[in-house]
Structure 1
């Protein structure tokens, strides 16, 4: 099992080559790896599963073996080069992490799974990634899918920075709030009461403030 520590746009990750352990042991392992005092320390943990290698092997099997082997593959895997399993540091799963996906793409290139253009299957959708390297730097571009549902307008609680916001789901829940320019003196204080405002069953949204 190969493990790498990577960071992308301010978030850091432990990147593991392979599939998550079964039987509930994945949560325990993630928490141990992400612990900043007793482990490696990270915002999240990525497990990367190579898929194009499985598909290459299918071409070499006879027809009956191919059908049996296809039964072990998720339908979405057939069009992907790798699958990314993303965990937050507390062991919870998330459908998508874009900074994590950027690290996954670079790691796949380092492992020789791709020459720079690849398709990454996440719990939420299929991403197309492009990696360009020069000297000791790398630039990763992601082509994102259109959200499945249209943004949903919400009335925000009183005494917050605006009266309305828009909830949109792109693998993780987001809340976009339009504000007047120059009103964001304390971003964290303004965002904190809005984090769980997108619904009673929401595990918390990423809050974004925009202005014209």
Structure 2
């Protein structure tokens, strides 16, 4: 029997599994089944809590997309990860060092129940994202599959992100543009797509 918890962070939902206190080897097909919203549990991503490979690190954090592929990082998942290891009494610490595929991140549990994630510095060099572009720039022009040209920013916070500036996030064509950008051939590992509107000099939606 598989023991798991279902959690969410800012709308992203996760299946979180303690792989320290139960023996576990999941294949890609099993992960796809668990993530299936009709036949399985249903989730955006599956998170595994594992023993760290070094004594100076508290845990190893592994992330799998709903298609079974493993990815390097997820900030919302990291917040759920921190709450999970505390609630399951896997640690009593307020500050946790966590090993990920893209390096060590630091999770802090505040007294009000919030979780802060220090994911390190952003990476803008195309080779670090990865993004197939010869030179680093502030924005890039992408030709989409419907021949539409869009402008994006590209950054990695341990996993690739594309950010598109729009007039209004509520009316942006998220469901149309999102998948085309996510699967664009200039992002060899695919990309998380965000839409941003600047309300004023101190507020971004």
What TM-score, normalized by structure 2, do the two folds share?
A: 0.74
Equivalences for 1:6-25 in 2 at 5 Å?
6-18=7-19, 21-22=24-25, 25=26
Which of 175, 178, 181 aligns to 1:194? It is: 181
**CA–CA separation in structure 2 for the residues paired with 1:8 and 1:95:** 17
- In angstroms, what is the RMSD of aligned CA positions? 2.6
Secondary structure, counterpart of 1:48 in structure 2: strand
Unaligned 5+ residue runs, structure 2?
127-135, 199-205
Q: Which has the larger radius of gyration?
A: 1
1:168 aligns with 2:143: no
2:121 corresponds in structure 1 to 146
Secondary structure, counterpart of 1:156 in structure 2: strand
1:110 corresponds in structure 2 to 87
Cα displacement string for residues 150-189 of structure 1 (whole angstroms, at most 9, x for unaligned residues) = 36432222634x4x3222222221112334x348623313
Unaligned 5+ residue runs, structure 1?
52-72
1:159 corresponds in structure 2 to 148
1:46 corresponds in structure 2 to 47
2:195 corresponds in structure 1 to 209
Q: CA deviation at 1:206?
A: 1.5
**CA–CA separation in structure 1 for the residues paired with 2:87 and 2:44:** 21
What TM-score, normalized by structure 1, do the two folds share?
A: 0.72
How many residue pairs end up in the alignment? 179
**CA–CA separation in structure 1 for the residues paired with 2:79 and 2:169:** 32
1:70 corresponds in structure 2 to none
